[in-house]
Amino acid sequence: MVLTHVKELVEQNAQKYESYGLTASVFSAGLNKKELDQQVTFASVQSLARNLDKLNTFYSLIIIDECHRVSTAQDSQYMQVISCLKRYNPKLMLLGLTATPYRLGHGWIYREHYHGFIRGEEGSPFAKCIYELPLRYMISNQYLTPPNKLDPAIEHYDFSSLATDSLGRYSESDMNNLLNSHTRATKSIIEHILVQAESRRGVMIFAATVMHAKEIVSYLPVNETELVIGDTENKQRDNIIARFKSKEIKFLVNVSVLTTGFDAPHVDFIAILRPTESVSLYQQIVGRGLRLDEGKDDCLIIDYAGNDFDLFHPEVGAKKPNSDSEPVQVLCPGCGFANTFWGKLDEQGKVVEHYGRRCQGVLEDEVDGESMQCDFRFKFKECSHCGAENDIAARQCHSCGEIMADPDDKLRDALNLKSALVLRCCGMTAEVIKPQVLKVTYFDEDGADVSEVYDFTNKGSRYYFHRNFAKRLKSGSAVGEWKNVEEVNITLLSPPDFVIAKQHKKYGWQISDKLFDYDGSYRVADKS
């Protein structure tokens, strides 16, 4: 049983299968077919979910195309079909295919990768990724057309100042406001596109909003341009796509409807005028132009929205934290696994900063042989009861079960206290003031500072220094033990986000708490 969510894909897949001289059934209301008599059926999940009573037989395998749409909610259409077929075969196998295994806000579609690392949460729709075909491989082995990326030397949009929702998306009104103040940019971008398109056969333009798309269309030749948006009626949409595929029209403008599964092999120019939230979405859009076609040598890719993704970047699985971050490799000091996180490199290619939280390596439990995620954390909140390291967003200690103090409560309490000082820390310095005595000073954006002293000849003092800083090195590496002050490389230490100090009658401000890896609602200082 081959399932997918749109009739175009049902038809496309069935045709591909039959091109091998095989016969398949097709079950899709949109295609006016309700057949189930062949060994292999291509079906739309909506049609099948409405006809569960007809699914009264044994299937050994379900294949889901574009499987990132599968939700584990029991009442979802995919789950209805799956549990129905499981009644006839408890050992039913499920295989998913997708080019976007990770989506912002939804996370990874699978739990474990076949190279031995954890990606998704427990309870992800799929247990294991069993095979991955990187874009680079597909292009160098001529399964896909090489992309030809051109940097437009003209004004482009910058969406990066806008706020995003939990799915990493911008609101339509925010984007419209920004675009409204850039109407000259849109006009000159389209002029640029028209010049570049002269030697091209099919041009797909990805717009940010419906209003934006309509403006774009108004600058393009009327007889050669069509627009597809979410509200476009099916019949009209089919007609437009058919005319585009037969090259009657050259420019196809769309607003987030033709990103996946759309297949027009002659497309040889992709113009991106919208923000893309993740590497894989960017790759999906570009992928619309990489199909092989006769007489097509490359596909021109122009990103007018400053998305700045590398087509061959691995998916990091987190929102890009800022525009100058890139995927970096961080070896886990615990298990040695090479993690890919967002981060920054120096000129020698060394990691100087990264945004990873927890190692993604897989370890096998020595007792029951089950695989589990490595417990090493690069950023963590320490439990004040047992000292265990927890995720920075944890509310309850995973080790002792105690409720963890909310850093926001600590800050609020300190801010309400006259005798307390809260320093929004943006950096730190350290100097050796006596042999083996280190004075560490934390300062804020306005230049205020507080300091504390660590005496390395004192075991307890050395221990506290180690506990604060050793596991949070900017490079992601770990320190065995600092025995003396000279071994400490201050430039690699991560400063806390907040320092709380209390007024002491005799000694002035004394640091009472430091909040590292803060993940709450107060603003943190820019440390770059």
- Contacts with Zn ion by CB under 5 A lie at 332, 334-335, 337, 359, 361, 374, 376, 383, 385-386, 388, 397, 399-400
Cα Rg of the chain (Å, integer): 28
The nearest distance, CB 334 to Zn ion, in angstroms, is 4
The nearest distance, CB 345 to Zn ion, in angstroms, is 21
The nearest distance, CB 365 to Zn ion, in angstroms, is 14
The nearest distance, CB 383 to Zn ion, in angstroms, is 3
Joined together, the tokens standing for residue 431 give: 């100097």
Residue among 305, 327, 308, 330 nearest 316 (CA): 327
By CB neighbour count within 10 A (0-12 exposed, 13-18 middle, 19+ buried), where does 411 fall? buried
The nearest distance, CB 372 to Zn ion, in angstroms, is 11
Which one-letter amino acid corresponds to residue 217?
Answer: V
* Alpha carbon distance, N-terminus to C-terminus of the chain: 53
Distance CA 381, CA 516 (A): 7
Closest CB to Zn ion among residues 289, 407: 407
Phi and psi, residue 341, nearest 5°: -125, 165
By CB neighbour count within 10 A (0-12 exposed, 13-18 middle, 19+ buried), where does 104 fall? buried
The nearest distance, CB 399 to Zn ion, in angstroms, is 5
CB contact at 8 A, 140 and 118: no
Closest CB to Zn ion among residues 221, 401: 401
- Residues 6+ away with beta carbon under 8 Å from 222: none
Closest CB to Zn ion among residues 255, 362: 362
Closest CB to Zn ion among residues 140, 396: 396
Closest CB to Zn ion among residues 394, 525: 394
The nearest distance, CB 389 to Zn ion, in angstroms, is 9
Distance CA 377, CA 360 (A): 10
Residue among 101, 100, 128 nearest 115 (CA): 128
Closest CB to Zn ion among residues 46, 329: 329
Cross-sheet strand order for the sheet of 269-272 = 147-150, 299-303, 269-272, 203-206, 251-254, 225-228
The nearest distance, CB 116 to Zn ion, in angstroms, is 11
CB contact at 8 A, 444 and 424: yes
The nearest distance, CB 386 to Zn ion, in angstroms, is 3
Residue among 187, 188, 178 nearest 157 (CA): 178
- Where are the alpha helices (H) located in 259-337, listed in sequence order? 279-287
CB contact at 8 A, 173 and 211: no
Closest CB to Zn ion among residues 206, 337: 337
Closest CB to Zn ion among residues 117, 262: 117
Distance CA 5, CA 42 (A): 11
Closest CB to Zn ion among residues 261, 334: 334
The nearest distance, CB 455 to Zn ion, in angstroms, is 28
Distance CA 299, CA 321 (A): 29
The nearest distance, CB 332 to Zn ion, in angstroms, is 3
Closest CB to Zn ion among residues 334, 427: 334
Closest CB to Zn ion among residues 33, 381: 381
- Residues 6+ away with beta carbon under 8 Å from 91: none
Distance CA 473, CA 377 (A): 12
Distance CA 256, CA 268 (A): 19
